[in-house]
Structure 1
Amino acid sequence: MEQAREACTQLRWHQALRRRIPEAAAESRVRGAWSSADLDGARLPVASVRDVVRGALSWPEQPDPAERVARSAVLATLEAEHLVRSGVPARQLLARLHTAAAGAGGGAGGAAAGAGAGDARADAQDGVGRPRSGDQACLELTDLGPVPTGPALETRLAGLVELMEAPPEVPAALVSALVHAEVAVLRPFGSGNALVARAAERVLVQRRGLDATGVAVPEVGHRAVGPAAYVGALAGYAQGSADGVALWLRHATAAYVAGAAEGTRIADAVLAGRLS
């Protein structure tokens, strides 16, 4: 966690971020959405995602599965930016992110190494923005074990909300990493949980001050190890053992260090005028 904090602090002092934070942060969202989609099995050129975000390209009227995933990732990542400085409570924050992802016409189809996010479509989805109820199942991230349902899910969700609202003295890297893992393990929604987990992490990394500039790209760090290792670290957390939780925390904080390095590359490109 100390390494993650130091890496993000160094990024904050980059020369390009003195006056051009918005430009660099916009590219961070592009690369974050692209990486998040890739973790869910959607491998599109980053240039295509950038063109969509800046309005130079539209999604097809009949997107293929990979395009649906990427579109969901883009919408969730853009919504995360709106939520960073909002006063939206924790439970509503997750609902907003899920609604944004589902508004793409499909939470996220396709799964890579168990990291996918289902194939539910927004127009056929009754639970958009609402946690699963009763014994409703979720078929995502099956490598993490069975999903909690009913009272067990409600209890864990209450704990998740409390975690998201932890006092400022609790390290930002710790809260962000644990929230990511809890959302992924709980899978509170019928679909799109992995996208929501990563978008929520992006919100907290900025909101709690680990990277207040919004230029770091933690999703790139998660993607760097590949979907199998990413899900494997989450599975370690899901076991609930000290070693399993430590495995995930090491993975997540390494992702923050890598995300800061990616942010530095973005800042370098902004400074050199070679962003694309």
Structure 2
Amino acid sequence: MTIPVRPGSPRPAGHPAGPDPLAPLLELPGVREAADGARAAVDRLLRHRLMRNRSAEVSTESALRGARASAVLEGVDIPLADLRAGQVDDPVVQGALRASAALGSMQDTWERAPGQVLARLHVLAAADLVDRAELGRPGVHAGPRLSGLFGLVTSTSTVPAVLVAAVVHGELAALAPFGTADGVVARAAARLTGITRGLDPKAVSVPEVGFVELGRDAYVGAVAGYASGRPEGVAAWLAHCCRATEHGALEGLAIAESLLRG
């Protein structure tokens, strides 16, 4: 994969140890501090007393709110109450809901067969948006860079999980491999990366809400900065993802507190 700062290609799983290709990201201005802040925010959420025996309830609500926020970032803003009431048939929203709901069943497969998971995510996200023959099929333009991304997902990196998730997110958002519903797929894959790499193993934070709170225009601009390949653009994207993660952890805390209040 050609990560914009070009630290080198990631190792496939099982390859002898060598330099971590993502390690240079930690040297970009402000990135290490931003990652530490995101980790601390999620850890505060994971220490909430509700996580001892009711984390599944928080995770369920997190998935719903995350799907709604992902649709907002695609330009479709639906009230949360309408989602709960099942009164929404917008294809973008429905696709985001399907993708979000399926993440739990994909955790064991993601780090072994990421291509299979991405194809499935696109089938779920774009089922009502394109012809069936186009579902789960990345464009020819995406081939080499997707192969590199798969190598990253299946390899071991010592950088914080929030940064690995941000790279997965940025690569897919910038590459747009499927040509439709790519944003929904990118955000779902990023959340899955955070879950499987131990950032949020209980899936109780809502990073998608964090991106919405930071602003849709800011999100689009940050993706463009990452896609530019310039170190300052990559650093800004990584910091943006870390700030969104912090906001998402606060959303998870709000969910937990609302459940405690009944």
Native 8 Å contact 1:220 1:259 kept in 2 = yes
Native 8 Å contact 1:221 1:259 kept in 2 = yes
Task: Note if 1:194 corresponds to 2:183.
Answer: yes
Native 8 Å contact 2:42 2:205 kept in 1 = yes
> Alpha carbon RMSD of aligned pairs, Å?
1.4
Cα distance in structure 2, aligned partners of 1:164 and 1:210 = 15
What TM-score, normalized by structure 2, do the two folds share? 0.83
1:166 to 139, 147, 155: 155
2:134 maps to which residue?
A: 127
Q: 1:43: Cα distance to partner?
A: 1.0
What TM-score, normalized by structure 1, do the two folds share? 0.79
Give the letter aligned to residue 35 of structure 1. A
1:80 maps to which residue?
A: 103
Cα distance in structure 2, aligned partners of 1:272 and 1:188 = 43
1:117 maps to which residue?
A: none
1:37 maps to which residue?
A: 71
2:55 maps to which residue?
A: 21
Task: Note if 1:46 corresponds to 2:69.
Answer: no
Task: Note if 1:102 corresponds to 2:126.
Answer: yes
Q: 1:58: Cα distance to partner?
A: 5.9
Q: 1:93: Cα distance to partner?
A: 1.3
Cα distance in structure 2, aligned partners of 1:209 and 1:247 = 23
2:113 maps to which residue?
A: 89
Give the letter aligned to residue 79 of structure 1. A
| Percentage identity across paired residues of the two chains | 42
Q: 1:270: Cα distance to partner?
A: 1.1
Task: Note if 1:214 corresponds to 2:237.
Answer: no
Cα distance in structure 1, aligned partners of 2:106 and 2:77 = 26
Aligned residue for 2:205, secondary structure, equals coil
Give the letter aligned to residue 209 of structure 1. G
Give the letter aligned to residue 77 of structure 2. R
Aligned residue for 1:30, secondary structure, equals helix
User: CA offsets, 1:115-139, max 9 Å, x none?
Assistant: xxxxxx3xx2422111113xxxxxx
Cα distance in structure 2, aligned partners of 1:231 and 1:219 = 13
User: CA offsets, 1:112-162, max 9 Å, x none?
Assistant: xxxxxxxxx3xx2422111113xxxxxxxxxxxxxxx2xxx3221111111
Give the letter aligned to residue 107 of structure 2. V
Aligned residue for 1:126, secondary structure, equals helix
Native 8 Å contact 1:127 1:190 kept in 2 = no
Segments of 5+ residues of structure 2 without an aligned counterpart are 1-34
Q: 1:19: Cα distance to partner?
A: 0.8
Bigger helix fraction = 2
Q: 1:168: Cα distance to partner?
A: 5.2
Q: 1:253: Cα distance to partner?
A: 0.6
User: CA offsets, 1:17-58, max 9 Å, x none?
Assistant: 11101111000001100100111111111112233xxxxx36
Aligned residue for 1:211, secondary structure, equals coil
Q: 1:102: Cα distance to partner?
A: 2.0
| Residues 257/159 of structure 1: CA separation in 2 closer, same or farther (3 Å cut) | same
2:94 maps to which residue?
A: 71
Task: Note if 1:261 corresponds to 2:232.
Answer: no
User: CA offsets, 1:208-233, max 9 Å, x none?
Assistant: 11011111000011111221110000
2:44 maps to which residue?
A: 10
Aligned residue for 2:121, secondary structure, equals helix
Deviates more, 1:160-169 or 1:19-28: 160-169
